[in-house]
Amino acid sequence: MSGKTFYLETFGCQMNAHDSEKVIGTLEQQGYAQVDSEEAADLLLYNTCSIRDKAEQKVFHRLNDYKKLAKAGKRFGVIGCVAQQEGEKIFERAPYVSLVAGSASYRRLPELIARMEAGETRVTGLDDRQTDEAFETEFTARKNPYRAYITIIEGCDKFCAYCVVPYTRGKERSRGSESVLEEAKRIAGMGYTEIQLLGQNVNSYRDPTGKKSFAELLAAVGEVDGIRRVRFTTSHPRDFTRDIVEVIDAVPTLCDHVHLPVQSGSTRVLRAMAREYTREWYLERMDWIKAAKRKISLSTDIIVGFPGETPAEFEETITLLNEVQYDVVFAFKYSPRPNTPSLVMIDSISDEEKSKRLQILLDRQREIQRANYDRRLGEVLEVMVEGNNPAREQIVGRSSQNIPVNFSWPHPIAPAPGSYQQVRITRTFPNSLVGEAV
């Protein structure tokens, strides 16, 4: 290769963003320097996500956009979930790609990169679903200025009918609690005050050393000197236990927010989705959370138009919204994903009907959210600064409840990202709060 520079583009969720931090740290240890443009890079990497509809097509379109750069002697690598899903087919469709690697092989990146530098044109780092490959890497470049991530569990054993993750991330593998706590202490020593624990099903964590439950690990991370906030995502209702609520009540540094995807309000649809819980099971966990001493903010994920969902079953999802009163809902139309069990189901609901149901749900949630946020008028919230919006002369941040808060700042120098400010809420919008620094 002509040099040691790389460009990395990341698609998808927070886990992918943190995976990219691991890749960047590893490449920098190999003597590479990160650059901000494709034209300036010798190695171009695309960290991909396969959750959304037509994700692989979007990756190939992206690669095709930069096909002309291959003529300049640049190398290309596709990593992440689409890489694991499509495998060596990527070489066939984009022959200028030299590296295809799934997330389980990031520890092997130095070896894979060395092979590519030596002239190999088809280097792969792919694993089957049963891999025990560790997902920890020796080097992580912390690129977020105010929040540090720790992956505590990788993979998924749930096999929901619509989800490709078990096939791209492999089986569930948890880190030892001592390893997690050592990393948390290193992070605190770097000056970070907020940690977010990550996993496809983060609360399915099983300490391989047997020393701590998930709730006990939450408490231990929250008690690390210097840490003021601990978040965790994403949880699965099947493994959501009462002690998680109890530990949020007991440890003030644990954020008063729970993201618990429900996907549907209909027990029959949940059964078809292979979610392995019922509407009643889910609502019992909502009752636990609402009975907590602290007011815990709730958010969720919902899929509308799953194969066979009747209008009455969709209405059950709307009534669940009314009952739970979420602060935030992430809602999506069902779309088939490669290798998933739902591919054999008859997807008879038209895209037009799916769009109609999605809009009904979003409109109802907008009403709920506005009412929830209106109740916060006059409250004083602790907000961690994430940046600023010069156009509106506002500081941008987030509350412990994970609600975006924009606030006015009376001083010429903006507060630093990662700092904390007390903010009195003076206005509300459907997706954010507005206030003034106290």
| pLDDT tens per residue, range 355-364 | 999 999 999 9
101, amino acid identity:
A
CATH superfamily of 380-437: Nucleic acid-binding proteins (2.40.50.140)
User: Of 2, 17, 3, 69, whose CA–CA distance to 38 is shortest?
Assistant: 69
Mean pLDDT of the 307-320 span? 98
Backbone angles phi, psi at 331, to 5 degrees: -120, 145
d(CA 3, CA 42): 6
d(CA 261, CA 328): 11
- Pairing outcome for strands 5-10 and 33-34: parallel
Domain range annotation of the chain: 5-125, 380-437
Distance of CA 429 to the CA centre of its chain: 24
Q: What is the pLDDT of residue 199?
A: 95
d(CA 93, CA 257): 43
d(CA 59, CA 68): 16
Rounded to the nearest 10 degrees, how much is the dihedral formed by the CA atoms of 346, 348, 352, 355? -50
pLDDT range class, residue 51, cuts 50, 70, 90:
confident
Q: Residue 161 gets which letter from DSSP?
A: T
Which of 67-71, 167-171, 199-203 has the largest mean confidence?
199-203
User: Of 400, 406, 395, whose CA–CA distance to 431 is shortest?
Assistant: 406
Q: What is the pLDDT of residue 58?
A: 84
**Residue 216 host element (H or E):** helix 214-222
Q: What is the pLDDT of residue 134?
A: 65
143, amino acid identity:
K
d(CA 398, CA 146): 11
Please give the structure tokens belonging to residue 127. 């694993």
Please give the structure tokens belonging to residue 334. 């069902």
- Pairing outcome for strands 43-48 and 33-34: unpaired
pLDDT digits (tens, 9 = 90+) for 85-125: 999 999 999 999 999 999 888 888 999 999 998 999 999 99
Mean pLDDT of the 160-179 span? 94
Q: What is the pLDDT of residue 353?
A: 98
Helix and strand totals (H; E) in the chain: 14, 19
Rounded to the nearest 10 degrees, how much is the dihedral formed by the CA atoms of 302, 306, 310, 313? -30
pLDDT digits (tens, 9 = 90+) for 210-230: 999 999 999 999 999 999 999
Per DSSP, the residues of 191-242 read: T--EEEEE-TTGGG---TTSS--HHHHHHHHHTSTT--EEEEE---GGG--H
Q: What is the pLDDT of residue 1?
A: 44
Q: What is the pLDDT of residue 131?
A: 75
Rounded to the nearest 10 degrees, how much is the dihedral formed by the CA atoms of 13, 14, 15, 20? 100
User: Of 275, 278, 354, 276, whose CA–CA distance to 311 is shortest?
Assistant: 354
pLDDT range class, residue 3, cuts 50, 70, 90:
low
Indicate if the pLDDT at residue 237 is higher than 80. yes
114 Cβ contact list (under 8 Å, min separation 6):
none
Distance of CA 421 to the CA centre of its chain: 26
pLDDT digits (tens, 9 = 90+) for 253-308: 999 999 999 999 999 999 999 999 999 999 999 999 999 999 999 999 999 999 99
d(CA 23, CA 39): 20
Using an 8 Å Cβ cutoff, are 49 and 11 in contact? yes
369, amino acid identity:
Q
Q: Does domain 5-125 have CATH number 3.40.50.12280?
A: no
Beta-ladder partners of 76: 44, 97
